[in-house]
Amino acid sequence: MNRAHHFYCSRESWKRHVREDLVPVATEGVDLGEDVLEVGPGFGPATDALAERVPRLTALEIDPRLAVALRKRLGHRVEVREGDGSHLPFADDAFTGAVCFTMLHHVPTPALQDRLFSEVRRVVRPGGTFAGTDSTGRGIGFALLHVGDAKVVVDPERLPARLQAAGFEQARVDWGADALRFRAS
């Protein structure tokens, strides 16, 4: 993450947007079950919201500094692990549900995104749901925030087929000008 992007995502207004807007929209009507995996929590605003909603939460963060900070802040309520979403360090069927919020475009290639989808499918029990949000990559602000960063925007029209290719039986994607929301089971 470049400095501008790091600054933007660490602001309280962004964190509040994630907690109050993105998490509720993505999880509305979704039963994630009792043991949930969050992939790519970053600074942890979604983690904060989820920790209040689910009995057990595991957060997997690839950035060691962010993982340490999240563990210090939320380690008493959330199991924070450092690792890569495209190589999940968990057993098959370990979780009842999984989520990710505005992180898919940071996965550096479509092949690794597909690998992440397959890995999430592997660790989520049959019948469990994978839900989340991501940016659609439109606008100059989005482009400027990602100068020098990995920025592989997910095509919302193709995402259902990609999730199904990863092993999910059903996948739904809704999107607007700035963001997409997905659910797969």
In tens, the pLDDT along 109-150 reads 999 999 999 999 999 999 999 999 999 877 666 655 555 677
Question: Which pLDDT score, from 0 to 100, does residue 12 have?
Answer: 81
What is the spatial distance between Cα 127 and Cα 114, in angstroms, rounded to a whole number?
20
pTM of the model: 0.93
Question: Which pLDDT score, from 0 to 100, does residue 148 have?
Answer: 65
Token representation of residue 157: 């029209």
Question: Which pLDDT score, from 0 to 100, does residue 141 have?
Answer: 62
Q: What residue ranges of the chain have pLDDT lower than 50?
A: none
Q: CATH topology for 3-184?
A: Rossmann fold (3.40.50)
What is the spatial distance between Cα 155 and Cα 137, in angstroms, rounded to a whole number?
9
